A = this chain, B = another copy of it.
Amino acid sequence: MTKSQKVMLTANDWAEAALDAIGRRGVEGVAVEPIARDLGVTKGSFYWHFPNREALLVAALQRWEARETDEVLDRVQQETDPRARVKRLITEVNTSKKASRIYSALSSATKPAFVRDYVERVSKRRLDFIIDSYAALGLSAENARRWALMTFSVFLGSLQIRRDLPDEWPNADEPAFAEYVRFLMVSLMPSELDAANNTPAPDVPEWPARSGSQGF
């Protein structure tokens, strides 16, 4: 147990610093020497703990996946009432810009192909959790899926709006935020009637098939 004044970094310290770099500079910003500078050491340290840069990315992604599933879902899952779950989910949008930046950076990353696997697993676990929450309200599988897709979209989109248009997003301490959350709760929560009437409306209207070049 060497732990003198020299601090002595661990592999987890490097992985955590890599996660931080993902949030601040993107996946491409996970560079050995810059992170070493952040940590106040040289890359001589890094190559003792890891064989190469890719291993660092994997370690960071594993930590991320563990945090974003086990810890967070366990925390939200303590909420027994499905309605309270959705509400907490919404309010969670306003916590930790850092975590949302990491999510966004990973979601748009392309270069190390395995990043997509981690993003897909985490996203699917989140969506499934929301589906289960709606199913617990008595919705059919199809309806629970529809509501969950919409709620998950609102969650993800809210993260992006808060990042791209911070001025347009109500601050958590303002009354406008509380009102907006209440508004979302009403909109994202099926009524008792919906839960009973579990089939979608039968008439499928037509809509114009878009032929434009690039989408909105």
Residues on A facing B (Cβ under 8 Å): 24-26, 28-29, 67-68, 72-73, 75-76, 87-89, 91-96, 98-101, 104-105, 107-111, 119-120, 123-124, 126-127, 142, 146, 149-150, 152-158, 160-161, 163-165, 168-169, 175, 178-184, 186-188, 200-201, 204-205, 207-208, 210, 212-216
Q: Are B153 and A157 in contact (CB under 8 A)?
A: yes
Q: Are B216 and A126 in contact (CB under 8 A)?
A: yes
Among A76, A142, A150, the most chain B Cβ lie within 10 Å of the Cβ of A150
A92 to B209, CA, bound (A): 10
- Which residues in B have their C-beta under 8 angstroms from that of A67? 214
- Which residues in B have their C-beta under 8 angstroms from that of A153? 153-158, 160-161
The list of the 6 closest CB pairs from A to B, nearest first, reads A153-B157, A95-B215, A157-B157, A156-B157, A96-B215, A99-B214
What is the copy number of this chain in the assembly? 2
Q: Are B149 and A91 in contact (CB under 8 A)?
A: no
Q: Are A75 and B123 in contact (CB under 8 A)?
A: no
Q: Are B216 and A76 in contact (CB under 8 A)?
A: yes
A188 to B154, CA, bound (A): 11
- With A98-B214, A175-B204 in contact, is A160–B150 under 8 Å at CB? no
Q: Are A95 and B212 in contact (CB under 8 A)?
A: yes
A168 to B123, CA, bound (A): 10
Q: Are B120 and A165 in contact (CB under 8 A)?
A: yes
Whole-angstrom distance between the Cβ of A119 and the nearest chain B Cβ: 5
Q: Which one, B107, B201, B208, B215, contacts A182 given CB within 8 A?
A: B201
- With A26-B108, A155-B157 in contact, is A178–B204 under 8 Å at CB? yes
Q: A88-B210, A107-B163, A182-B204 are in contact. List 11 more A-B contacts (CB 8 A).
A: A28-B28, A29-B111, A88-B207, A94-B215, A120-B165, A123-B161, A149-B161, A150-B187, A157-B157, A178-B204, A187-B187
